[in-house]
Amino acid sequence: MTSLSDVVTSHTPDANISIVNVTTAEAVPGSMGRMSLGANPIIVRVAIILILQLFNLCGNGFTLITIRMTPRLWTKTNFILASQLVADVMNAIITFWYNPFLLVVYVFNNPCRFFT
């Protein structure tokens, strides 16, 4: 039969092992994998946003140029469409500033937290 002191001492951590040494020893082998898992979704997100912005600029720019260069397309409906296209193009241009922000904050400014 086990006593209360045996149960308490068997579940208490060893006093010779410090928490810093244990966490460092566990984190070093997988540190590259853990750090890259945090950066990969951000890089994929930035790539997708850049592709969508290029489609946005090309498609809306082509439509705006077509409306501008063809006088029979100068109708009230197309002027409303053109104003929406201009707003969409401005949104794409402003969003170009968001991509470097994502890269700098979440990828390049990611300190290594595995060592203390």
Is the model more confident about 75 or about 19?
75
Contacts of residue 61, defined as CB under 8 A and 6 or more positions apart, other chains included, come to: 89
Whether 24 contacts 114, CB under 8 Å: yes
Burial state string for 15-42 with b = 16 or more CB within 10 A and e = fewer than 16 = eeeeeeeeeeeeeeeeeeeeeeeeeeee
Q: What is the pLDDT of residue 81?
A: 95
Classify residue 52: in a domain, yes or no: yes
- Counting the structural domains of the chain, the total is 1
The residue range of the domain holding 90 is: 41-111
Question: How many other C-beta atoms can be found within 10 angstroms of the C-beta atom of residue 73?
Answer: 15
The DSSP code for 110 is -
Classify residue 26: in a domain, yes or no: no
Classify residue 81: in a domain, yes or no: yes
pLDDT, tens only, 68-86: 999 999 999 999 999 999 9
Classify residue 48: in a domain, yes or no: yes
Classify residue 9: in a domain, yes or no: no
**Measured between alpha carbons, how far is 61 from 93 in angstroms, rounded to an integer?**
12
pLDDT, tens only, 22-53: 444 444 444 444 444 556 788 888 889 999 99
